[in-house]
Amino acid sequence: MATAGGANLIPIVAAIIGIGVISQILSDRFRIPSVVFLIASGILLGPEVLGVVGPDSFGNALSAIVGLSVAIIVFEGAFHLRIQKLREAPAATLKLITLGAAIALVGTAVAVHVLLAASWSLSFLIGALLVATGPTVITPILEVVPARDRVEAALETEGIVNDVTAAILAVVIFEAIISGVTEPMALLTLFAERLGVGVVIGGIVAAVLLYALRYVDLSPGNAPQNARLLTLAGALVAYGAADTIATEAGIAAVATAGILMGNTDIPYEEEISAFKGDVTLLVLSFVFIALAALLQFDILRTIGPPGLLVAAVVALVLRPALVFLSARGDRFSTGEKWFMSLVGPRGIIPASVATLFAIELRNAGLDEAANTLVGTVFLVILVTVVLEGGFARQIAEYLDIIPMRVLIIGGGKVGRTLAERLEGRGENVVLIEQDQETVETARNAGFTVHHGDGTDTDVLRSAGAENARIVVGATGNDDVNLLVSQLASSKFDPETILARVNNPDNAEAFEELGVRTISATLATAQAMDNYIERPSMMDWMGEIGRSGDVQEIEVTSEEIVGRTIREVGPELPDDSLIVLVQREGETHVPDADLTLQQGDRITIIGGREEVREAIQYVHPDK
């Protein structure tokens, strides 16, 4: 049904983009990563089912379209990679992109060679491609599966860096296969040339863009729009220029430019980020659907059970091995390590590059090698994306690694401010708000908001009340907050229920329910009194949430149970201190000789990062 070029191309592209947008909406609605819907749509549209899209639908333009789309996708992921965020898991991140990548490369190559009887060169080509997890699959998963910053930082960095190195390494191995190069130094030279060209071109483009955004008047009336377009054009220019000089150096160029710009204070950053996100959604939809539509089931059947075994080895043996070795001795809990092990789907870089390589191999008369390459890569992508991506949230819930869920009823200024502080500590916060305008304001600020009546049990349940540890009534109506507290207590039984009390005379009604209350009137008066009597303390408290933190945590680590504060103190990070200990309902300031017991709740004060590290030491599974 598909024809090359022709009149059908415009409706095909329009349909693909439309389906991509619908896939994103379904993803948000059902909390399933969008890539699952995109791949399913591509197979449905492909020659194996409806036959709307096929290998000839895009003529000779497919490789160029895929290349430019991948450039935008990689630039988007690199732009959001913040250097300060990498400090959440620096050691594990470095190991994932070095030791982990090496394990994935060699292990996959051995599996392909043994199970599929492929040549070593073809096996290492497949292994190089399957090193990459990629932001195109990791980012959509993390959007619907909240995880702690350290987990997101490690997975996102691994995806972005390995996308670049895997693509360049694969090109080097492919050229070695085609040209017959086998000498190690020659291969290393090919790799270094492409990486070096990409870094240099990416750095030059980033410098030009930064200068233009900061020092050139981009038009007083349309400066934000021009900044968005200039950034998009810069990413495409970086890709095209580097790729012209050295094949596949373009990916390294856009990654370099994205990282440099994302970690520099640039004008209109929010507008640029939002615009690129929308553009990335469209090209991501196109690429996934278009490539999935090229999949031929006959090739998968040819690979057969040995191919499934390769996918199982990649996902269930190599991935856990490289994660546990990379995160060994770091700050990850066992559940977080298993989550990172079981959620490592392969993405668009392996799919797109394998497709392009297969075309060249077939042109060279190597049809069997082309089929093995495409079949193995696509089979691993299908298995990992569908199973790991589709069940990522269930895996996270089973492993209990989703941060503490907090429901806040009321999306006004109080609710949003509280949500901002909690999310800054890595907690999973959901707002419930009935007023449509307030809902839009909160969503535009980046919060997850359920539109509905917070006093409706079904609305509370749909927002996740059954899994919430804390429920907060933060509306300006005491009657609403009281009813929310009653429903939460009787229907869902969270660990803590908090309520905002606007009229101090109503506090007694809440206390009869066992609800902790915060009186706006009393809190304001106390804050003013504290600033009068204790200005230094209040100045320091104002820093909480920015550079400092105070956290209370239960003692569970066997390393500190039975030891004194004097012994444990020096083992905590430098800018952190145990200031309170709660035992059997009584809280007191501990002396140095107090022996910590299992179940004690201790309060730690200090710098934000230092407090987080101390919490991991005291409560390893937190």
Q: Are 314 and 385 in contact (CB under 8 A)?
A: no
Q: Are 483 and 471 in contact (CB under 8 A)?
A: no
- 104-118, 364-378, 385-399, 602-616: which has the highest mean pLDDT? 104-118
Q: Region 297-305: what's the mean pLDDT? A: 80
* CATH code of the domain made up of 546-618: 3.30.70.1450
**How far is it, in rounded angstroms, from Cα 615 to Cα 387?**
33
Question: What residues have CB less than 8 Å from 413, skipping those under 6 apart?
Answer: none
Give the model confidence (pLDDT) of 477-517 as tens digits: 888 888 888 888 888 888 888 888 888 888 777 777 777 88
| pLDDT the model gives residue 90 | 55
Q: Is residue 136 scored above 70 in pLDDT? A: no
Quick one: which of 376, 358, 367 has its CA closest to 306? Answer: 376
Name the residue ranges covered by the structural domains of the chain: 9-399, 405-531, 546-618
Per-residue confidence (pLDDT) for residue 264, from 0 to 100: 83
pLDDT at residue number 103: 92
- With a pLDDT cut of 90, the percent of the chain lying above it is 8
314 pLDDT more than 80: yes
Residue with tokens 């009657």: 479
- Which of 35, 29, 99 has the alpha carbon at shortest distance from 280? 35
Higher pLDDT, 445 or 424: 445
Mean of pLDDT values over 536-562: 73
Say if residues 427 and 406 touch (Cβ distance below 8 Å).
yes
Indicate the fold that domain 9-399 takes in CATH: Na+/H+ antiporter like fold (1.20.1530)
Spell out the SS3 assignment of 492-518. HCCCEEEEEECCHHHHHHHHHCCCEEE
Is residue 395 within 8 Å of residue 342, measured between CB atoms? yes
Model confidence over 286-296: pLDDT tens digits? 777 766 666 67
Q: What is the pLDDT of residue 19?
A: 81
pLDDT value at position 149?
67
> Could you give the 3-state DSSP secondary structure of residue 449?
strand
With 60 as the cut, is the pLDDT of residue 6 above it? no
Token reading at 142? 């993390």
pLDDT band, residue 1 (cuts 50/70/90): very low
> Is 77 or 193 the better-scoring residue by pLDDT?
193
- Check residue 541 and give its pLDDT: 66
Its pTM surpasses 0.85 = no
Determine the pLDDT at residue 432. 92
Please enumerate in sequence order all residues whose Cβ is within 8 A of that of 506, keeping only pairs 6 or more positions apart, or say none: 478, 482
Please count the helices (runs of H) and the strands (runs of E) in the chain: 29, 10
Class of domain 405-531: alpha beta
Torsion (CA) 59, 60, 64, 70 in degrees, nearest 10: 50
